[in-house]
């Protein structure tokens, strides 16, 4: 099994927190998972697994959610421990 497929306890915690955040924001916007999928080009099934906290999200897909107004970058910075990385991402 490759290292990329192994979730550490911190990864699991982040996935659950991110899933809760995504679901909360989606419901605040009164959007179905399918509408989020349509806005982002990400499949509804993938969105469902993120909301359930079962899989990790890539930076590319995180940016798709941000670009489509589903979530804000500020809302997800709880999962980034290295502030240098955070500053690099946001510029």
For the chain, domain boundaries: 8-90
The pLDDT assigned to 38 comes to 98
Average pLDDT over residues 41-66: 94
How far apart (Å, rounded) are the C-alpha atoms in residues 16 and 22?
10
Query: Closest Cα to residue 78, out of 28, 23, 10, 25?
Result: 10
Band the pLDDT of 2: cuts 50, 70, 90. Answer: very low
On the question of pLDDT at 52 being above 70, the answer is: yes
How far apart (Å, rounded) are the C-alpha atoms in residues 3 and 6?
5
**Architecture, CATH, for domain 8-90:** Orthogonal Bundle (1.10)
How far apart (Å, rounded) are the C-alpha atoms in residues 58 and 61?
5
Q: What pLDDT, in 10s, does the model give residues 13-49?
A: 888 888 999 999 999 999 999 999 999 999 999 999 9
How far apart (Å, rounded) are the C-alpha atoms in residues 9 and 45?
24
């Amino acid at each position: 099994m490759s290292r990329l497929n192994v979730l550490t306890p911190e990864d699991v915690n982040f996935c659950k927190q991110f899933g809760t955040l995504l679901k909360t924001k989606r419901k605040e916007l009164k959007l179905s998972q399918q509408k989020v999928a349509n806005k982002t080009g990400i499949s509804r099934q993938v969105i469902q697994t993120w909301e359930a906290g079962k899989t990790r999200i890539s930076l590319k897909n995180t940016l798709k959610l941000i670009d489509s107004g589903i979530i804000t970058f500020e809302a997800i910075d709880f999962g980034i421990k290295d502030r240098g990385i955070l500053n690099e991402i946001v510029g």
